[in-house]
Amino acid sequence: MGTSQPDTSTTAQAVFERAPQQLYVGGRWVDAERGATFDVVDPSTGEALCAVADASPADGRAALEAAAAAQASFAATSSRERADTLMRAFDLLHDRIDDLALLMTLEMGKPLAEAHGEIAYAAEFLRHFAGEAVRIDGGYQAAPAGGARFLVAKQPVGPCLLITPWNFPMAMATRKIGPAIAAGCTSVVKPAQQTPLSTLAFVDILREAGLPAGAVNVVTTADATGVMEPLIRSGLARKLSFTGSTKVGRILLEQCADKVLRTSMELGGNAPFIVFEDADLDEAVDGAIAAKMRNMGEACTAANRIYVHQEIIEEFGDRLTEKMSALPVGRGVDDGVRVGPLIDEAARRKVSELVADAVQQGARVLTGGVTPTGQGYFYPPTVLTDVPRSARMADEEIFGPVAPLTPFKDETEVVAAANDTEFGLVSYVYTNDLRRALRVAEAIETGMVGLNQGVVSNPAAPFGGVKQSGLGREGGPTGIEEFLETKYIGIALA
Ligand code: NAP
């Protein structure tokens, strides 16, 4: 499809007719208890697109029982078989990319080109973990004191609960389901209420790719707490992998303590984006737009605080404003659109409140900052300058297309400012001074650093945060370890 414009009225209808909207339990598509459903809404119109199954706690229990029942046989499949399934799913994702991108754009709002990009990125997790599956290793070692041998084996953790957010509905699913399958873990996936369709479509692809019944189950629900808490506390699951807000992550960590579940937590961010006076300004402006505007700013990796050296902040602000104000805003399905709607009215209200708060505290609006009237949850690309430390947006994720600029004087001051947050997911640093780049990259308290680049996500690299941005890593060589236990077998030699 590329950037060509589909006839969305007819194509969308065909895509919805094919899109699964039920629960997937034990290898079968089933209705929720008593046929309950909830609506999926198009954020560019505010209108319902379709209704999907609304799982009850009993439906959730059935899904986890199916996962638990399939665990032993799935763990016994060969890693080559699991890798081959992942590669068939990789191919199918690419074969269906146009339909899947349209489905994602309709339920989530991002421009079609970005939806295409996300599906290609999501597919890469399958290819990456297909490679990791066949390289699960172990060890054999002599005890230091002699007389014994250590055999070290890796085994699947067991049935997993996988909870994903709405902002990257396909990639966040494959980033968890891919390594779970590779490791031989069965799972119950709960996608976000606002974007269930992409995950359901992906799981149908796994079915078509030959994944055994029960290996992956999906529950969609409008009652996340009511359905998931009993599963977390059931004793049937051995792990929870969660991507979402830090607020919900804290609640889930407490629940996981009950049965001492393994956890992976990919939580919120508050990324600093630092531009030193020696940086290439054009590259820094383009990097800031990439780091800020991917997904309309609705990304955990979004640049949330942009610190620019005081000597260049005016020039940087002018160039950023020129480019930001030229970005076309509109429905993600329309040709040439770069900025779609926010996910819902609550998200838009929060962005608008954060902007009002910053302005009240002395920030100046260089472009945007006014909520439009009319259909959909649109918010314009916005640049603020002179944003003070006391502004709420210095502490809270904006999750919208707002770039707040703050001047700084020197390296020590900006590193302290960057670290003055409970979050530690990612940071971005623009400088042409190698020694400074390495000093700052080491001093900054984040799990990932983009040096002269505004996007760090890569399936082959370890993604994750420190501090209250999370626990564990997804992707990269460590991603599969999150789904493996290490078993040590001590052998006495006669
Ligand atoms: P969220 O409100 O925390 O929800 C995330 C998921 O958790 C959704 O599926 C949600 O279901 C579910 N959920 C909410 N409360 C729950 C509960 N009490 N028990 C069980 N499940 C529960 O986050 P979001 O608004 O969807 O996503 C945005 C957040 O995700 C941001 O903070 C962003 O930074 C973070 N994020 C982090 C990463 C990363 O890799 N670090 C990546 C992407 C996003 P419902 O939809 O039904 O509420």
Interatomic CA distance for residues 226 and 166, integer angstroms: 19
Whether 186 is in a domain gets the answer yes
Residue 186 in this model has a pLDDT that exceeds 60? yes
Average pLDDT over residues 431-460: 98
251 lines ligand 1 (CB under 6 A): yes
Instruction: Give tens-digit pLDDT for 263-285.
Output: 999 999 999 999 999 999 999 99
pLDDT of residue 232: 98
Q: What's the start-to-end Cα distance of the chain, in Å?
A: 67
56 lines ligand 1 (CB under 6 A): no
Residue 5 in this model has a pLDDT that exceeds 60? no
Average pLDDT over residues 28-42: 97
Domain count, the chain: 2
Task: Work out whether the CA dihedral 150, 153, 159, 160 comes out positive or negative.
Answer: positive
Average pLDDT over residues 1-25: 74
pLDDT of residue 450: 98
For residue 301, the CA-to-ligand 1 centroid distance in Å is 14
pLDDT of residue 460: 97
pLDDT of residue 3: 42
Q: How far is CA 446 from the centre of its chain?
A: 17
184 lines ligand 1 (CB under 6 A): no
Q: Are residues 63 and 133 in the same domain?
A: yes
For residue 196, the CA-to-ligand 1 centroid distance in Å is 13
Q: Are residues 73 and 175 in the same domain?
A: yes
Whether 395 is in a domain gets the answer yes
Ligand 1 pocket test, candidate residues 41, 125, 167, most atoms within 8 A of CB: 167
Instruction: Give tens-digit pLDDT for 109-139.
Output: 999 999 999 999 999 999 999 999 999 999 9
Q: Among this protein's residues, is 300 annotated catalytic?
A: yes
Residue 4 in this model has a pLDDT that exceeds 50? no
Whether 463 is in a domain gets the answer no
Instruction: Assign 16 a pLDDT band (cuts: 50, 70, 90).
Output: confident
In the block, tokens 């259909």 appear at 375
Query: Which residue puts its alpha carbon closest to atom 35 of ligand 1?
Result: 244
pLDDT of residue 1: 35
Q: Are residues 70 and 181 in the same domain?
A: yes
Strand 239-243 to 160-163 pairing: parallel
Ligand 1 pocket test, candidate residues 166, 190, 225, 245, most atoms within 8 A of CB: 245
Average pLDDT over residues 341-351: 98
pLDDT of residue 458: 97
Average pLDDT over residues 44-59: 97
466 lines ligand 1 (CB under 6 A): no
Task: Work out whether the CA dihedral 105, 110, 114, 117 comes out positive or negative.
Answer: negative
Q: Are residues 150 and 292 in the same domain?
A: no
187 lines ligand 1 (CB under 6 A): no
For residue 446, the CA-to-ligand 1 centroid distance in Å is 20
Atom of ligand 1 nearest to the CA of 223: 47
pLDDT of residue 9: 62
Average pLDDT over residues 450-469: 98
For residue 316, the CA-to-ligand 1 centroid distance in Å is 34
Whether 173 is in a domain gets the answer yes
Q: Are residues 115 and 186 in the same domain?
A: yes
Nearest to 394 by CA among 405, 408, 379: 405
Query: Which residue puts its alpha carbon closest to atom 21 of ligand 1?
Result: 224
Give the residue numbers spanning the domain of 227. 8-268+470-488
Q: Are residues 347 and 257 in the same domain?
A: no
CA-based max dimension of the chain: 82
Whether 1 is in a domain gets the answer no
pLDDT of residue 56: 98
Q: Are residues 221 and 280 in the same domain?
A: no
Strand 364-367 to 426-430 pairing: unpaired
Q: Are residues 140 and 223 in the same domain?
A: yes
Whether the Cβ atoms of residue 166 and residue 299 lie closer than 8 Å to each other? no
Query: Which residue puts its alpha carbon closest to atom 10 of ligand 1?
Result: 192
Instruction: Give tens-digit pLDDT for 465-480.
Output: 999 999 999 999 999 9
| CATH number of the domain where residue 34 is located | 3.40.605.10
For residue 192, the CA-to-ligand 1 centroid distance in Å is 7
Over pLDDT 70: what percentage of the chain?
A: 98
Whether 28 is in a domain gets the answer yes
In the block, tokens 């996340």 appear at 224
Instruction: Give tens-digit pLDDT for 61-108.
Output: 999 999 999 999 999 999 999 999 999 999 999 999 999 999 999 999
